[in-house]
């Protein structure tokens, strides 16, 4: 039995943030019924299309382990089906633009009337405040949540990251809120509203930068490279390039082949506890006793020299050789892995983190499987549904007869 078997999710999500959340719930065994507009569906089905006529990877990779029900919730019949679904399900998840559910006639008060045990979980761009009515996408959230202002190099513009911390990150936050509310419902017998604003989710993931904002009052941030370079700090947490955030200096360094391979780099941390071993490995044994290099404090103004010497060594090795040499010595390093390398990595395939999925329209494709492993609730990744693939099945389970389903189809409600 899967961990969430028996939990019914009314999945009103689209694009990325909400679908990330419901996919997680589906992986752990919840019955996820994705409600989509007839003939249209989730907009991502037809975004960034690579196989003409088939659902895009954008859609398929975010909507595994779900059933698709097409329903026009703006028709009378559609509203009636939705009411039945609300009564039947445990959780309703949505990430519509602010106000859309109220306009549809299914705001929180109505949901509670229909089913007081219902947990209504929403992603919005912003929480209550001046921007609560805004429609928000990934990069807007990264900018508004403090990530962009603290990402990039000091002498360059703010940068967005490739990690989808606004969308997928908020989906994760929402899943956590839903599980907490489900647990609470066991005791209270009541559902509740769960809200995960994208700005808040990004800020949560950037909390070390808010830590640094406050530390600025006590003086310059000594572990930032700009301290060693004598560059003054301003009023806000600056961009720290590839500095390591934990107080142990770290940088991305070139490895053998960097001239032609854009990913021939390693991350290298000069962890204080293994400084002597680092000196041995890079052939700078004299630095072990040299007062200018022997202690972390002495090294801080000399980090460019330190990392310059380490890079001279890493450039003679591949990123994997650096890993093989440093790992046994507990020197923290990490190869910069490309998506191609990750896709081909056998150990990720073995654990189900990279999964090959068969799809009737597009053949086989790779996806990221569930990154969280439960020993008693293993995940089997099931391909994403075609638009409306389960409409009849879901409606029959709700008690509709074949004739009723036909007339709903004729009326354009499904």
**CB nearer ligand CAO, residue 92 or residue 269:** 92
Told to check if 137 binds ligand CAO by CB under 6 A, we report yes
Told to check if 211 binds ligand CAO by CB under 6 A, we report no
Told to check if 391 binds ligand CAO by CB under 6 A, we report no
Task: Give the phi and the psi of residue 354 in degrees, each rounded to 5.
Answer: -110, 125
Q: Which listed residue (167, 200, 212, 243) is catalytic? A: 167
Least distance (Å) between residue 40 CB and ligand CAO: 8
Least distance (Å) between residue 401 CB and ligand CAO: 22
Told to check if 39 binds ligand CAO by CB under 6 A, we report no
Residues 74-93 that bind ligand CAO (CB under 6 A): 74
Identify whether 167 is a catalytic site residue.
yes
**Residue entry with tokens 């191609």:** 340
Give the integer Cα–Cα distance in Å for 14 and 36: 9
The C-alpha angle 172, 247, 154, rounded to 5 degrees, equals 80
Dihedral over Cα of 336, 60, 108, 2: its sign = negative
Nearest to 20 by CA among 150, 136, 127, 164: 164
**CB nearer ligand CAO, residue 333 or residue 413:** 413
Among 61, 71, 120, 179, binds ligand CAO (CB under 6 A): 71
Among 11, 31, 90, 167, binds ligand CAO (CB under 6 A): 167
Give the integer Cα–Cα distance in Å for 70 and 388: 5
Q: How many residues bind ligand CAO (CB under 6 A)?
A: 25
Using left for φ > 0, alpha for ψ between -120 and 50, and beta otherwise, residue 71 falls in beta
Nearest to 307 by CA among 266, 273, 337, 335: 266
Residues 213-272 that bind ligand CAO (CB under 6 A): none
Among 3, 104, 216, 336, binds ligand CAO (CB under 6 A): 104
Q: Quick one: how far is CA 195 from the chain centroid?
A: 17
Among 39, 51, 103, 283, binds ligand CAO (CB under 6 A): 103
Told to check if 151 binds ligand CAO by CB under 6 A, we report no
**DSSP reduced 3-state for 39:** coil
**CB nearer ligand CAO, residue 27 or residue 96:** 96
* DSSP string computed for 111-130: HHHH-TT-EEEEEESS-SST
Told to check if 125 binds ligand CAO by CB under 6 A, we report yes
**Cα dist from 295 to 246, 285, 335, 404, whole Å:** 17, 14, 26, 78
Told to check if 199 binds ligand CAO by CB under 6 A, we report no
Question: Which residues are known to be catalytic?
Answer: 167
Write out the residues near ligand CAO by the rule CB under 6 A: 15-18, 35-37, 71-74, 95-97, 100, 103-104, 123-125, 135-138, 167
């Amino acid at each position: 039995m899967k961990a969430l078997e028996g939990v019914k999710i009314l999945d009103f999500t689209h694009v990325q943030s909400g679908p990330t959340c419901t996919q997680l719930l589906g992986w752990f065994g919840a019955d996820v019924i994705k409600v989509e507009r007839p003939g249209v569906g989730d907009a991502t089905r037809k975004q960034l299309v690579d196989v003409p006529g088939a659902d895009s990877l954008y859609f398929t990779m975010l909507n595994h382990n779900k059933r698709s029900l097409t329903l026009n919730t703006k028709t009378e019949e559609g509203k009636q089906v939705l009411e039945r679904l609300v009564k039947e399900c445990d959780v309703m998840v949505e990430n519509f633009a602010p106000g859309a559910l109220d306009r549809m006639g299914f705001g929180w008060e109505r949901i509670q009337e229909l089913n007081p045990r219902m947990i209504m979980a929403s992603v919005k761009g912003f929480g209550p405040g001046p921007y609560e009515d805004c429609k928000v996408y990934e990069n807007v959230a990264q900018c508004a949540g403090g990530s962009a202002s603290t990402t990039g190099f000091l002498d360059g513009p703010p940068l967005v990251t490739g990690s989808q911390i606004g969308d997928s990150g908020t989906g994760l936050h929402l899943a956590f809120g839903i599980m907490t509310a489900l647990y609470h419902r066991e005791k209270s017998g009541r559902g509740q509203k769960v809200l995960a604003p994208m700005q808040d989710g990004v800020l949560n993931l950037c909390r070390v930068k808010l830590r640094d904002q406050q530390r600025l009052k006590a003086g310059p941030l000594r572990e930032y490279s700009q301290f060693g370079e004598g560059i003054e700090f301003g009023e806000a947490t600056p961009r720290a390039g590839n500095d390591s955030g934990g107080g142990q200096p770290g940088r991305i360094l070139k490895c053998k082949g960097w001239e032609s391979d854009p990913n021939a780099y390693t991350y290298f941390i000069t962890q204080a506890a293994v400084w002597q071993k680092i000196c041995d490995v890079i052939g700078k044994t004299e630095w072990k006793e040299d007062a200018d290099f022997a202690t972390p404090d002495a090294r801080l103004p000399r980090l460019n020299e330190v990392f310059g010497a380490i890079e001279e060594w890493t450039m003679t090795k591949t990123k994997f050789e650096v890993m093989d040499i440093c790992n046994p010595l507990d020197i923290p390093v990490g190869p910069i892995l490309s998506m191609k390398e990750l896709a081909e990595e056998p150990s990720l395939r073995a654990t189900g983190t990279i999964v090959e999925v068969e799809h009737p329209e597009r053949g086989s494709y790779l996806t990221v499987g569930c990154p969280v492993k439960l020993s008693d609730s293993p995940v089997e990744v099931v391909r994403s549904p075609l638009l409306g693939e389960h409409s009849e099945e879901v409606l029959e389970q709700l008690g509709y007869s074949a004739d009723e389903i036909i007339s709903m189809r004729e009326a354009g409600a499904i």
